[in-house]
């Protein structure tokens, strides 16, 4: 049984006992005045004990998934609190090659040359905070194949993410992140790449490699926006590089920010 289920089950039992005691008038004191302090104490105990429970079973595992007959792939990352690093370091014949501290679950489907792969952090806790694997959270370092076109989807939580996609053939990129720090180096030789970045409370840095044209659209709330306007010239709602129309490799980039900072160069 999951420990989170045990914890919240205990809270429900405690609440039921308080309600029953009041209804049956078993005691004459106001039990509600004891219930809320007890709830706070139990939450404190939960946060103290969870790291110790999890540390006993935390391992770093290495996982390799072969390319086989793949001619194109979609890879989805569901990553919680911690650190996620992705690059193009997979070896010939590998779709991915990664090291996963805190564990990973994977789901893969292959069909007529197309491969869909989903990587996800295990979920056995009531809160997706930084404590499941100690002070650093889930730490993944994942190398992807540079051999075939890729569509990448990242869904991250309270994490530090570093995506070096410069050597990959990424044709589609989606990043949906929460309270995080994210640094992305976009592809240098992938033809046309369509990228969409959405974030809540975050710091996002995006690097467009030299020689790659870009058209950038930014929607921001309470965000600090810093775009290299010597390279990307403002044209209405867009920032466009002078070589966008003629560049062999180009980026269509959309950024939607809540609170935070955006830097594009």
Q: Are residues 246 and 130 in the same domain?
A: yes
Write the burial class of residue 201 (CB in 10 Å: 0-12 exposed, 13-18 middle, 19+ buried). Answer: middle
Predicted pLDDT at 179: 75
Strand partners, 167: none
And the tokens for 73? 């792939």
Predicted pLDDT at 134: 46
Q: Are residues 19 and 108 in the same domain?
A: no
Neighbour-count burial for 151-162, b at 16+ CB within 10 Å, e otherwise: bbbbbbbbbbbb
Q: In whole angstroms, what is the distance from residue 55 CA to residue 102 CA?
A: 9
Contact assessment for residue 184 and residue 223, using Cβ atoms and an 8 Å cutoff: no
Q: Are residues 28 and 51 in the same domain?
A: yes
Please tell me the pTM assigned to this model: 0.76
And the tokens for 93? 């014949």
Range of the domain at 223: 60-264
Q: Are residues 40 and 140 in the same domain?
A: no
| Alpha-carbon dihedral angle through residues 232, 214, 75, 58, given to the nearest 10 degrees | -20
Predicted pLDDT at 56: 47
Q: Are residues 43 and 140 in the same domain?
A: no
Write the burial class of residue 221 (CB in 10 Å: 0-12 exposed, 13-18 middle, 19+ buried). Answer: exposed
- In 3D space, the residue among 129, 131, 125, 127 whose CA is nearest the CA of residue 51 turns out to be 131
Q: Are residues 10 and 87 in the same domain?
A: no
Q: Which helix (H) or strand (E) holds 207?
A: strand 192-207
Q: Specify the pairing of strand 213-227 against strand 238-241.
A: antiparallel
Q: Are residues 125 and 181 in the same domain?
A: yes
> Cβ–Cβ contacts within 10 Å for residue 95, how many?
23
Predicted pLDDT at 80: 80
Q: Are residues 138 and 249 in the same domain?
A: yes
3-class state of residue 55 by DSSP:
helix
Q: Are residues 174 and 96 in the same domain?
A: yes
Q: Are residues 51 and 65 in the same domain?
A: no
Q: What is the pLDDT of residues 25-63, one digit of tens each?
A: 666 555 545 555 555 555 555 555 555 544 445 688 999
Give me the sign of the Cα torsion angle 85, 86, 92, 93: positive
Q: What is the pLDDT of residues 68-106, one digit of tens each?
A: 999 999 999 999 888 999 999 999 999 999 999 988 999
Using DSSP, how many helices (H) and how many strands (E) does the chain show?
A: 2, 16
Predicted pLDDT at 132: 45
Chain centroid, CA 162 distance in Å:
10
Q: In whole angstroms, what is the distance from residue 244 CA to residue 236 CA?
A: 16
Q: Are residues 118 and 85 in the same domain?
A: yes
Q: Are residues 25 and 96 in the same domain?
A: no
Instruction: List the chain residues with pLDDT less than 70.
Output: 1-58, 123-136, 221-223
Task: Give how many domains the chain has, as a whole number.
Answer: 2
């Amino acid at each position: 049984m999951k420990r989170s289920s045990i914890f919240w089950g205990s809270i429900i039992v405690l609440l039921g006992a308080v309600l029953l005691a009041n209804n049956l008038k078993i005691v004459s004191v106001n039990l509600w005045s004891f219930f809320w302090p007890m709830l706070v104490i139990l939450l404190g105990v939960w946060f103290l004990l969870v790291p110790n429970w999890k540390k006993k079973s935390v391992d770093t595992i290495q996982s390799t998934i072969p390319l086989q007959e793949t001619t194109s792939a979609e890879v989805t990352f569901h990553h919680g609190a911690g650190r996620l690093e992705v690059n193009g370091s997979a070896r010939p014949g590998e779709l991915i090659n990664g090291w996963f501290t805190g564990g990973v679950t994977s789901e893969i489907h292959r069909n007529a040359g197309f491969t869909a792969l989903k990587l996800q952090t295990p979920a056995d806790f009531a809160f997706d905070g930084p404590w499941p694997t100690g002070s650093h959270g889930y730490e993944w370092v994942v190398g992807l194949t540079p051999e075939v076109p890729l569509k990448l989807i990242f869904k991250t939580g309270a994490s530090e993410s570093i995506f070096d996609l410069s050597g990959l053939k990424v044709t589609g990129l989606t990043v949906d992140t929460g309270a995080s720090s994210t640094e992305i180096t976009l592809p240098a030789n992938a033809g046309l790449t369509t990228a969409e970045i959405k974030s809540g409370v975050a710091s996002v840095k995006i690097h467009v490699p030299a020689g790659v044209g870009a058209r950038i659209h930014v929607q921001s709330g309470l965000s600090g926006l810093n775009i290299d306007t010597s390279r990307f010239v403002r044209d209405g709602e867009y920032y466009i590089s002078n070589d966008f129309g003629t560049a062999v490799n180009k980026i269509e980039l959309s950024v939607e920010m809540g609170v935070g900072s955006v830097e594009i160069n």
